[in-house]
């Protein structure tokens, strides 16, 4: 997969709403990540399953190295 390759994921409207609330709550607080409702957990599981279907990197021998490179590229530069 190329560095700037675009991947598309599909979410139902309900999944998107649950995920939006979860991520909004996470970004609006300095608290630890918490699941407040089982629906949030389900949406995250579904999203993980969707990613498993389109990513090959987790199954490669150098996955840790690829993950570290991706983190470095995505991380805010002032961190």
Flag whether 7 is in a domain: no
Q: What is the pLDDT along the chain (79 residues), one digit of tens a residue?
A: 567 788 888 888 888 888 888 887 877 767 677 899 999 999 999 998 988 888 899 999 999 999 999 899 888 887 5
The H or E element containing residue 7 is none
Please tell me what DSSP assigns to residue 32: P
Q: Which domain range does residue 70 map to?
A: 13-74
Q: What is the pLDDT of residue 41?
A: 92
Number of domains the chain is built from? 1
Flag whether 48 is in a domain: yes
Flag whether 3 is in a domain: no
Flag whether 1 is in a domain: no
Question: What's the token pair of residue 49?
Answer: 């399953």
By the 8 A CB rule, do 41 and 35 touch?
yes
Q: What is the pLDDT of residue 5?
A: 84
Cα angle value 30/44/68 (rounded, 5°): 70
Flag whether 62 is in a domain: yes
Flag whether 46 is in a domain: yes
Flag whether 20 is in a domain: yes
């Amino acid at each position: 997969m190329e560095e700037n390759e675009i991947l598309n994921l599909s979410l139902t409207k309900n999944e998107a709403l649950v995920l939006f609330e979860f991520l909004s709550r996470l970004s609006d607080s300095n608290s630890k990540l918490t699941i407040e409702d089982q629906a949030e957990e389900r949406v995250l599981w579904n999203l993980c399953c969707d990613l498993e279907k389109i990513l090959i990197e987790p199954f490669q021998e150098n996955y840790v190295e690829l993950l570290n490179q991706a983190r470095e590229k995505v991380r805010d530069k002032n961190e």
